[in-house]
Structure 1
Amino acid sequence: MTAEIKLRELMFYKGFDTIEKLHRKSGLSRKAISSILSGNKTGLRLETIIKLCSALDCKVEELIVIEKEKIKA
């Protein structure tokens, strides 16, 4: 299975055009947000997910998309 964090897309859709705006709304550090956006974060704490979803007014499944890999026959 693979997981993709859709933070960049949600920021755009919800009108957060800068990391600074999301930082102020979520309380997360600019560095943490930048790491997520750059793909350098391989795991997110539940607290971080809650803060992002709250700031972006979204559901977890909108932020994190999990896809099952297709089984090759």
Structure 2
Amino acid sequence: MNANQIVSMIVRTVMRQLINRGVNAGFNQISRRGGSAKGQGPTAITPERRAQMQVRQARRAARAANR
């Protein structure tokens, strides 16, 4: 291996690590904010979401009762 190949290999490795860190940080930031109502914390449940959860719970109960 000559010096040019070694330098290229090191640069590629460092760039790959930096790009992966940036992509991971971006996904983490998006996943923390995703699905929450505007101006509220990430654990806030919207009325629509609450209604969906209640419907799912009722369907599960109906299925369990029919078994």
- Scaled by the length of structure 1, the TM-score of the pair is 0.25
The structure with the larger Rg is 2
Q: Say which structure, 1 or 2, has more relative contact order (CA 8 Å, 6+ apart).
A: 1
Q: Counting strand residues as a fraction of each chain, which structure ranks higher?
A: 1
The structure in which a higher percent of residues are helix is 2
